[in-house]
Structures are given as C-alpha cells and as structure tokens.
Amino acid sequence: MKFIDKLDEKEYSKFMNNCSYNHCLQSVAWGNISDKERNQKKVIVGLKDDNDKLVAAALLLKKVTPFKMCYFYCPRGFILDYNNKEVLNTFTKELKTYLKRVNGIYLKIDPEIKYQTIDEDANPIDGENNYDLFNYLIKLGYKHQGFNRLHEKNEPRYTFRRYFKNYDSIEAIDESISKTFMKSLKRSYNYDLTVSIAEDLEDFIRLNKFNAKKDGFMANKESFYRTFFEETKKEGNAKTFNISLNPGKLTKKFQKELDELKNALDNGTLNKKDRGNANETIKRLEKDIETFKDLGNDDIVVCSMICGYTKNGAWTLYIGNDTLGEYTFSINRVYYEAIIDAYNNKYDFIDLFGTVGDPNTNYKNTKGLHEYKRKFGDEYTEFIGEFDLINKPFWYHMLPILLKSYRFIYKIKNR
C-alpha cells in the first residue's frame, strides 16, 4: 500500500462521498473554513492499495507550535472502513511515520461511531456496540481521552439521531415525536410562518448575535459564518433554513378573528365548547395583536438554522432566533422542517449535533437543551470518543501547559 501525503482534493471528495462513513466536518470546505478562520492548515492525506485504489483518507487540521513542531486534529476521524483492520492498521503506521517526518507532536481523532447502545439515562443496554474497535485502536497505540459526558472535548460525545429507515412516512415520524413538541409545532401554524432556504447569512448572523447576548455564550466570529457560507456553497453541502412572518398581515388576521369571536358571543351563536374557551381565546388574540401591531408590514425572519450534509447524512449545526421566534414556536418549526427536508431528500439520518451523557446534569443550560432535543431527536447515541496518536510523549504532556501560558500572556498584552 502507498501513503499519499498530499491527496488531490477532487479525488478525496469523491472517495468521501462514496464511503459509508462520512461527516460534513470532513469536507474540503470545512478544511478551507478552518484554514481561513481558525489558523488550522488544511492537509489531506490518503492510502492507496496495490491497484492504486484509494482505501483510506483523512482531513487533517494542522496547528503549528514553537520549536518548529505541530499537532493535528482529524475532525470526526478517518474516512475508511473501520471494520477493515488491515487498512486501519496500515493507515495508522503510515500516519506515525508521517508525524515523525513533519515533527508532529500528536494526531487527534474523534470518530462519530457508536460506542454502545444506551437507554434514556445513558446506561448501556443490550444492542449494538463497538468494543472490539475501541480495543483495537488502543492496541494500535491510540490513547483514549476518556468517557466525557458533557462538552469537555472538541465535539460532543453524545447526540440524538433520527434514522429514516425506521419510518415509512411523515405521519410515522410525527407519531414518534413527543406530544408536547407536536402541540407547540401545531401552534406555530397559527402565525402563517414562511419556510425558505436563505440566499445569504444576514438574518442568521443577526439572530445568532441576539442568542449569544441573551444566553451569555461566545458565538463564532461573524467572519466564520460568512466563510462557512461561501465555502459550503461551492460544494453544495449546507443549507440555511429561514423562518419568517409578516406582522401586518398577522395583526389584521388576529383582529378579524377577535371581532368575529366577540360578535358570535354577543349573538349567542357559539357552541358550548367554544363558548367555554372564549375568554382564553380572547386573551390570546389580544396578546397576539399587541405583539405584532407596531412591527410594520414587512416580512421578518425570526429564526434561522444552518445544516450540514454529506451524501447520506444531515446535521443541524448552528441556530439563531429572537423573541418573536420563541413566541411563535419557530424554533420547533425550523427543527421539524429540517427533519422533514432530510427525509424527503432520502438522507439516511439527521443528527441534532450534540447533547450530554448525563441527562440530570445541572451544568449551565445543557439539561434543558438535552430535554428539548429528546422530545424529537429519536435515538440517544453515545460515540466512541477521542483518541490521540502520540509521536512526542514529552511535548504531548507539556503542550497544554505551554498553550495555557501563551494564552495568558496574549491576554495581558491585548488588554
């Protein structure tokens, strides 16, 4: 077999799209984004068999350190058949040699491969597992970084994933989603929301900033999202779903409904059930009118979500919304629309891109986020975790200390 340290990007992309295991963060586009926005140099490597056929490939993100050293991160691991131990073994050996040649400290991988089947409390149960692969990676020299349960590592180790092979219709999908989620989803239709695929990221950026300020988290830089949009547009492996409404039209609609309801009450033409609910309905309509009446007559985007794709999978990556998005249940709506879009376009699955492995945690707002995604996320999934292939043990242990010191000094200098 032959190791290729500068694999052609088109050849890589073709191999990635034809491999059963792939991820949107393994794309050439993601490599370009990381290169431009995160100072991580894109390196694409591969392994060919004796017939010059590509059997393994990887996107490596290179970070340069002092003393002319470097380290690598391979987002979501290698693109290969992990059940083929010969290929995995040979590729690992070649990568060890490559690390020595380029003075690399280590290489990190975090394959999005299920570790074991778990119940709703993240406890292991009978079902599928990949203990054999886990042990084989250890045997090959990889160091496992532990079974983290929160968000301590590069990417989440737990997620909710919906496999469409389990459903033969949209109605079957609807039946599998919690009743509370579906109830709020149905309420979103009262607001005549429009779902569209955005042609730019202006609305997303505005809404994402609103979220970051409201929830107190550090969003990516604006330039990151713009670069993401431009790079993924070249490959066609991302979509931005926008949810919009028209305040002027909604105000007229609700005012008309309110007037008709009051007239029916005065005329005694309501049936017993509607008459019993009349006061509650009047309050809701009055609140809706008050919410929208001063917001003009132009369409407003109130929620926006970016999804990434490969040939067989979809991932919900980033979301932004404002108070109107919350009020109109547009957040539920955008997730639902992404699910149905993935089903209609015959993807194998959609991944909600991260949750925690401790459903009872009080860490920040992750408990609430977990419970929210659980209502419509289908299969609770535990991945195998992070593994480091270490070339320089001394510098591997020293690197975290050096980086911490560097960041401290940088922070002081830039005050």
pLDDT tens for each residue of 294-324: 999 999 999 999 999 999 999 999 999 999 9
Amino acid identity of 169? S
Q: Please, what is the Cα angle at 336 between 214 and 75, to 5 degrees?
A: 70
Class of domain 2-144+385-413: alpha beta
Q: Do domains 2-144+385-413 and 160-246+299-382 have the same CATH topology?
A: yes
The tens-digit pLDDT sequence of the chain (415 residues) is: 999 999 999 999 999 999 999 999 999 999 999 999 999 999 999 999 999 999 999 999 999 998 899 999 999 999 999 999 999 999 999 999 999 999 999 999 999 999 999 999 999 999 999 999 999 999 999 999 999 998 877 789 999 999 999 999 999 999 999 999 999 999 999 999 999 999 999 999 999 998 887 776 767 899 999 999 999 999 999 999 999 999 999 999 999 999 999 999 889 888 888 888 889 999 999 999 999 999 999 999 999 999 999 999 999 999 999 999 999 999 999 999 999 999 999 999 999 999 999 999 988 778 999 999 999 999 999 999 999 999 999 999 999 888 777 676 666 666 6
Return the H-helix or E-strand segment holding 281. helix 272-292
Domain ranges, ordered by start, for the chain: 2-144+385-413, 160-246+299-382
Query: How many other C-beta atoms are found inside a 10 Å radius of the C-beta of residue 316?
Result: 23
Residue of 100, 107, 46, 105 lying closest to 74 (CA atoms): 107
| Homologous superfamily, domain 160-246+299-382 | Gcn5-related N-acetyltransferase (GNAT) (3.40.630.30)
- Give CA–CA dist 331/322, Å, rounded: 10
pLDDT at position 412 is: 67
Largest distance between two CA atoms of the chain: 88
